[in-house]
């Protein structure tokens, strides 16, 4: 494992990444709020719009304790965006799945987020390719 670098260029890039992270996070929360959702609720709804998941699976994706998921799904369910279904294969398991309205909300949320990420529009196709490759290299093999 390499030693972290402290040269001015590295520090400048670190600072820029910090700015990207802060802005992205802020805009994510705002997009969620426009749909009267908290960030956590929006993340869960987004996950479930890809595929229904057991409560435990949601906790793994969110990297939080399973007990927290109960409340988040409760609130989404109370708003009619998500429903709990039994798992035919294991009666202990409850599968959380988006309702029709939940899927629609998730879709609109995704559009909001694309809008939030619009800064990418400032780059040409070639520049996006370079950026993609640099980010991939930065993130390492774990992403591949």
Binding site for a copy of itself (CB under 8 A): 1-6, 9-10, 12-14, 16-21, 23-26, 63, 114-115, 117-123, 125, 127-132, 134-140, 143
Q: Are 133 and 93 in contact (CB under 8 A)?
A: no
DSSP annotation string for 18-49: HHHHHHHHHHHHHHHHHTT--HHHHHHHHHHH
Q: Between 47 and 73, name the residue whose CB sits nearer to DNA.
A: 73
Q: Residue 117: which of 109, 105, 106 has the closest Cα?
A: 109
Q: Between 91 and 137, name the residue whose CB sits nearer to DNA.
A: 91
Residue 97: contacted member of DNA, a copy of itself, none (CB under 5 to 8 Å, by partner type): none
Residue 30: contacted member of DNA, a copy of itself, none (CB under 5 to 8 Å, by partner type): none
Q: Residue 25: which of 45, 12, 39 has the closest Cα?
A: 39
Residue numbers at the binding site for DNA (CB under 7 A):
38-41, 54-57, 62-75, 84, 87, 90-95
């Amino acid at each position: 494992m390499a030693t972290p670098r402290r040269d001015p260029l590295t520090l400048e890039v670190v600072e820029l990444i910090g700015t990207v992270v802060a802005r992205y996070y802020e805009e994510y929360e705002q997009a969620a709020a426009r749909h009267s959702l908290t960030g956590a609720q929006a993340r869960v709804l987004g996950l479930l719009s890809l595929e229904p998941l057991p409560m435990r699976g949601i906790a793994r994706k969110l990297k939080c304790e399973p007990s927290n998921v109960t409340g988040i799904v409760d609130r989404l369910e109370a708003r009619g965006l998500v429903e709990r279904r039994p798992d035919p294969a294991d009666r202990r398991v409850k599968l959380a799945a988006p309702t029709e309205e939940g899927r629609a909300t998730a879709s609109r949320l995704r559009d909001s987020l694309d809008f939030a990420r619009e800064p990418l529009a400032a780059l040409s196709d070639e520049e996006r390719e370079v950026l993609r490759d640099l980010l991939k290299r930065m993130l390492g093999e774990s992403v591949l």
